[in-house]
Amino acid sequence: MRQWGVTPSMSRKGNCSDTALMESFWGMLKNELVHHRRYDTREQARRGITEYIETFYDRQCRHSRLGNCFPAAFAQEWARQQPAA
C-alpha cells in the first residue's frame, strides 16, 4: 500500500466496526439494485447506481442508526448544527 500511496481504511487490528456501515451499504446496494439488472456499459452502471444512491438511499430509505431519518436529512441537520467557521 505504501508503494502505491494508498491509505488503508481500517484502523487497529480486529476493529471490524470501521467498515461495518459500508459493508452493510454495499450489501444493500447489491441486493436491491445490482443483482436485479444487467448493465451494458460501465457508464450505464454508474448512472444507475448514482440514481439509486441519490434518489432512494439518501432521500427515501430510513436508517435506524440515524434515528429513523433519511441520510440526506440527517446530514443537513448535522451541518445546520455546526458552529460557523
Biggest CA pair distance of the chain? 46
Q: Residue 53 pLDDT more than 70?
A: yes
Query: For the whole model, what pTM was predicted?
Result: 0.52
Any domain includes 10: no
Any domain includes 68: yes
| Total of domains in the chain | 1
Q: Residue 68 pLDDT more than 80?
A: no
Q: What is the pLDDT of residue 18?
A: 62
Rounded CA separation 60/51 (Å): 12
* Domain range for 47: 18-81
Any domain includes 27: yes
Any domain includes 26: yes
Give bridge partners of residue 69 from the DSSP assignment: 63
> Per residue in 2-48, pLDDT tens?
888 877 666 666 666 666 777 778 888 888 888 888 999 999 999 99
Any domain includes 11: no
